[in-house]
């Protein structure tokens, strides 16, 4: 789950990171009071859940409260990568002498949390990794012992030779580790962490992605979710406990298992069609889940045929067949349904679907070809 | 020989009184797996419908049955504890079927069990099967056949799809293992490739990868440095849009890396054929085994 910068700043503050004070506003006029209260200059930042806000004109500096209002007016309502800016953050601006990158992820290779720091901050870190990998220092952290003082010293001195500044950076690194682990994040990043001309370290940006599987133990963070940034189908799918990603094609897909669902999309494209979505109904799928899946797919007006590809194991084919019958009745379906069911309780499923208008398929390839043909 | 599970496997089912645990315990018994017991805290002393004794703890279960393997079907919030309990009781192989474990729990579990000499498969794994010998997991047993192809996969149902084609074309399997769809798993693609490399009964390996991470690229590197078995590959997610998590927590293209195209290119570079469709795997196998 992604959260807004303002919320990420709040979490970082709780863990003692040096975050400049800020106010969230939704109307341009509110920027005046915010700027007066914080003291100018301030930076006005669009709050949308995508990167590249700066390049899109979503981040502006203001040196007076009047200017803050103007900048807020200029940013509120603009479109950044398809998302309308409805909220802006007004934050106390900091003079910048140097910019650093500091971030944490879980590393698949070492199977540990890993901190990454770079003296090349404020730019796209993936680009730094490609062009100048020597400018990034990575340190896996054994969660048993936590972030060790020697690791903190090494990373801090990699970023600054100034002892006083390095000390402040070290404190920020400890806070970043604690925030990452404490919030059950999958990514926590400050880009940039800056040093001001008078040698003070500030976290002037904040990004945290949360581990969806851990939200159950962080109701306060789960409440930060902003559905407005997501496709409505994706929101509904999450509520129905389905994995769904909307795509641009004409062939709707309902599949059990993420790998098979991806392979189904790939095969549709391989034979010249275009998938309308990724949808994994998961294991132990009940008829109700099939109905929810069907509703979500039918909301997409591009859909001309729906392909159901089930390899039953933990999923029972008869459950899916009953779900399809129910969905057809409740939703008054007129889109052709192409059904491939194999595995657990396949025979029962065939009996349930006999004498319906659904198009049966022998195997996955046959099903994909029939779905492409039916979509026209 | 096969890898990890065979006729010597003595299995405990953790969460055996639950819906999934109970159903799959019966399925495994029917397949011929030696299920020696089950564990559900607070329900010790019962017997399941198949006559399997239920214990309160793994320590007790291992002491009574000398089990060497466990399989976990408990809810995600309790799964990390179940893995550690099995390891602490001396079980050498733990297969975690449960999905939805927080990654933070996993990174704490791994050092704990490594210290105790336990191997973990999963979480979010369909399990492992050595056809004709032992099935530890949720895969349908009847699609498999005994043979010499090792299958390693990041997926569940896609593995069934490919195994189904292999079996129909006469390519039986030594062992099939689903490593799990999470970003951090106990046994990854490379670990499994190493196990197959050392298995006399495995002549060829089918590697089923997907978008996200760089395990496939590392596997290609391993093959380049000299791998003793023939390899065929399939990569799911060619049509996946970047930045979107495709069901599996680990299946995401981020920052332009982890794409199916990159992985396929890495395999092509070391002479490993990548199938366009699941059925094509058998065409590649026919060429490799000719």
Mean pLDDT confidence for A184-208: 97
CATH hierarchy code of domain B139-289: 3.40.50.261
pLDDT of A367 over the 80 cut? yes
Q: How far apart are CA B82 and CA B89, in angstroms?
A: 11
Average pLDDT, chain A: 93
Residues of chain B with CATH 3.40.50.261: 139-289
In chain A, which among 154-173 make CB contacts under 8 A with chain B? Answer: none
Please name the residue of chain B whose CA is at the shortest distance from the CA of residue A255: B157
In chain A, which among 15-74 make CB contacts under 8 A with chain B? Answer: none
- A101 noted as active-site residue: yes
Residues of chain B with CATH 3.40.50.720: 11-121
Residue pair A249/A278 in contact (Cβ under 8 Å)? The answer is no
Q: Please report the pLDDT score of residue B251 as a whole number.
A: 79
Q: Is A271 helix (H, G, I), strand (E, B) or coil?
A: coil
pLDDT per residue as tens digits for the range A21-71: 999 999 999 999 999 999 999 999 999 988 888 888 999 999 999 999 999
Q: Please report the pLDDT score of residue A52 as a whole number.
A: 82
pLDDT per residue as tens digits for the range A260-319: 999 999 999 999 999 999 999 987 678 889 999 999 999 999 999 999 999 987 788 998
**What is the band of A129 on the pLDDT scale with cuts at 50, 70, 90?**
confident
Q: Please report the pLDDT score of residue B146 as a whole number.
A: 97
- A15 noted as active-site residue: no
In chain A, which among 233-252 make CB contacts under 8 A with chain B? Answer: 243, 245, 247
A278 and B247 within 8 Å at the Cβ level: the answer is: yes
pLDDT tens for chain B, residues 1 to 290: 689 999 999 999 999 999 889 999 999 999 999 999 999 999 999 999 999 999 999 999 999 999 999 999 999 999 999 999 999 999 999 999 999 999 999 999 999 999 999 999 999 999 999 999 999 999 999 999 999 999 999 999 999 999 999 999 999 999 999 999 999 999 999 999 999 999 999 999 999 999 998 999 999 999 999 999 999 999 999 999 988 888 887 777 776 678 999 999 999 999 999 999 999 999 999 999 98
Both tokens assigned to A57: 């004109």
Q: Please report the pLDDT score of residue A313 as a whole number.
A: 79
- Any bridge partners for residue B95, and if so which? B71, B121
Distance in Å, alpha carbon of B68 to nearest chain A alpha carbon: 25
Q: Please report the pLDDT score of residue B189 as a whole number.
A: 95
Terminal CA-CA length for chain B: 23
Q: Please give the backbone phi and psi of residue A360, each rounded to the nearest 5 degrees, phi first.
A: -80, 155
Distance in Å, alpha carbon of B74 to nearest chain A alpha carbon: 14
SS (H, E, C) A281-310: CCCCCCHHHHHHHHHHHHCCCCCCEEEEEE
Q: How far apart are CA A332 and CA A51, in angstroms?
A: 41
Please count the other Cβ atoms lying within 10 Å of the Cβ belonging to residue B99: 20
DSSP summary character for residue A2 = B
A260 and B158 within 8 Å at the Cβ level: the answer is: yes
Residue A373's H or E segment, with its range, is: helix A364-375
**What is the band of A230 on the pLDDT scale with cuts at 50, 70, 90?**
confident
Among the partner residues B157, B240, B250, nearest to A260 by beta-carbon distance: B157
Q: Please report the pLDDT score of residue A284 as a whole number.
A: 67
So which residues of B are the catalytic ones? 248
Mean pLDDT confidence for A83-90: 93
What residue ranges define each of the domains in chain A, with the CATH number in brackets?
Answer: 21-92 (3.30.1490.20), 98-222 (3.30.470.20), 231-375 (3.40.50.261)
B108 and A112 within 8 Å at the Cβ level: the answer is: no
Portion of chain A with pLDDT greater than 70, in percent: 100
Strand order of the β-sheet with B230-236 is: B134-137, B127-130, B173-178, B146-153, B204-210, B230-236, B273-275
Catalytic residue among A5, A189, A195, A234: A189
A323: Cα separation from own chain's centroid: 30
Residue pair A319/A285 in contact (Cβ under 8 Å)? The answer is yes
Note the ipTM here.
0.93
B102 and A213 within 8 Å at the Cβ level: the answer is: yes
In chain A, which among 309-368 make CB contacts under 8 A with chain B? Answer: 311-315, 342-344, 363-365
Among the partner residues B24, B155, B164, nearest to A259 by beta-carbon distance: B155
Distance in Å, alpha carbon of A260 to nearest chain B alpha carbon: 4
Q: Where are the alpha helices (DSSP H) in chain B?
A: 19-31, 58-65, 76-88, 103-115, 157-168, 189-197, 215-224, 260-269, 280-289
Mean pLDDT confidence for A104-116: 94
Q: How far apart are CA A133 and CA A118, in angstroms?
A: 9
Rounded to 10°, the helix B215-224/B189-197 angle is 30
Residue pair A242/A279 in contact (Cβ under 8 Å)? The answer is yes
A270 and B279 within 8 Å at the Cβ level: the answer is: no
For domain B11-121, give the fold.
Rossmann fold (3.40.50)
Among the partner residues A270, A275, A311, nearest to B161 by beta-carbon distance: A311
Mean pLDDT confidence for A151-166: 97
Mean pLDDT confidence for A197-217: 96
């Amino acid at each position: 789950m992604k959260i807004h910068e303002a919320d990420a700043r709040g979490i970082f503050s709780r863990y003692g990171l040096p975050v400049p004070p800020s106010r969230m506003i939704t109307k341009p006029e509110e920027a005046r009071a915010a700027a007066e209260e914080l003291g100018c200059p301030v930076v006005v930042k669009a709050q949308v859940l995508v990167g590249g806000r700066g390049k899109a004109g979503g981040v502006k500096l203001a040196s007076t409260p009047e200017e803050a209002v103007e900048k807020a007016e200029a940013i509120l309502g603009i479109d950044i990568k398809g998302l309308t800016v409805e909220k802006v953050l007004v934050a106390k601006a900091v003079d910048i002498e140097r910019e650093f990158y500091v971030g944490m992820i879980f590393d698949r290779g070492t199977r540990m949390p890993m901190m990454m720091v770079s003296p090349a901050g404020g730019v796209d870190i993936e680009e730094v990794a490609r062009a100048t990998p020597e400018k990034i220092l990575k340190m896996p952290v054994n969660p048993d012992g936590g972030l060790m003082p020697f690791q903190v010293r090494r990373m801090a001195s990699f970023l600054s030779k100034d002892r006083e500044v390095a000390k402040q950076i070290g404190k920020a690194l400890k806070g970043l580790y604690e925030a990452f682990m404490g919030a059950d994040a999958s990514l926590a990043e400050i880009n940039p962490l800056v040093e001001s001309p008078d040698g003070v370290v500030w976290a002037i940006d904040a990004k945290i992605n949360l581990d969806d599987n851990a939200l159950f133990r962080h109701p306060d963070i789960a409440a930060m979710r902003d559905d407005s940034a997501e496709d409505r189908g994706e929101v509904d799918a999450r509520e129905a406990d389905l994995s769904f990603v909307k795509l641009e094609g004409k062939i709707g897909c309902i599949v059990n298992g993420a790998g098979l669902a991806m392979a189904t999309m790939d095969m549709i494209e391989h034979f010249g069609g275009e998938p309308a979505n990724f949808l994994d109904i998961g294991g132990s799928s009940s008829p109700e889940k099939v109905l929810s899946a069907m509703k979500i797919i039918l909301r997409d007006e591009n859909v001309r045929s729906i392909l159901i590809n089930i390899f039953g194991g933990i999923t029972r084919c008869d459950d899916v067949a009953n779900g399809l019958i129910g969905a057809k009745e409740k939703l008054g379906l007129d889109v052709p349904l192409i059904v491939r069911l194999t595995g657990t309780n396949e025979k029962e499923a065939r009996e349930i679907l006999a004498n319906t208008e659904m198009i049966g398929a022998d195997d996955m390839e046959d099903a994909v070809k029939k779905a492409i043909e039916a979509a026209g | 020989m096969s890898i990890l599970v065979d006729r010597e496997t003595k299995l405990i089912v953790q969460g055996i009184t639950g819906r999934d645990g109970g159903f799959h315990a019966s399925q495994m018994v029917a397949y011929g797996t030696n299920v020696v017991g089950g564990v559900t805290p607070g329900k010790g002393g019962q017997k399941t419908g198949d006559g399997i004794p239920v214990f309160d703890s793994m320590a007790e279960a291992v002491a009574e049955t000398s089990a060497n393997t466990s399989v976990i079907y408990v809810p995600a919030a309790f799964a990390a504890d179940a893995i550690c309990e099995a390891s602490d009781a001396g079980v050498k192989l733990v297969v975690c079927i449960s999905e939805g474990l927080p990654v933070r729990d996993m990174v704490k579990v791994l050092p704990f069990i490594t210290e105790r000499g336990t191997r973990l498969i999963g979480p979010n794994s369909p399990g492992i099967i050595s056809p004709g010998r032992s099935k530890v997991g949720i895969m349908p047993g009847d699609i498999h056949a005994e043979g010499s192809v090792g299958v390693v996969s990041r997926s569940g149902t896609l593995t069934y799809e490919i195994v189904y084609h292999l079996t129909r074309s006469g390519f039986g399997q030594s062992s099939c293992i689903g490593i799990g769809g999470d970003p951090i798993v106990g046994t990854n693609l490379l670990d499994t490739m190493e196990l197959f490399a050392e298995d006399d009964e495995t002549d060829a390996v089918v590697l089923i990868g997907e978008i996200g991470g760089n395990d496939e690229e590392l596997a290609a590197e391993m093959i380049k440095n000299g791998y003793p078995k023939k390899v065929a590959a399939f990569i799911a997610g060619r049509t996946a849009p970047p930045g979107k998590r495709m069901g599996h927590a680990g299946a995401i293209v981020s920052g332009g890396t982890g794409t199916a195209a990159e992985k396929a290119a890495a395999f092509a570079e070391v002479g490993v054929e990548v199938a366009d469709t699941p059925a094509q795997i058998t065409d590649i196998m026919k060429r490799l085994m000719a």
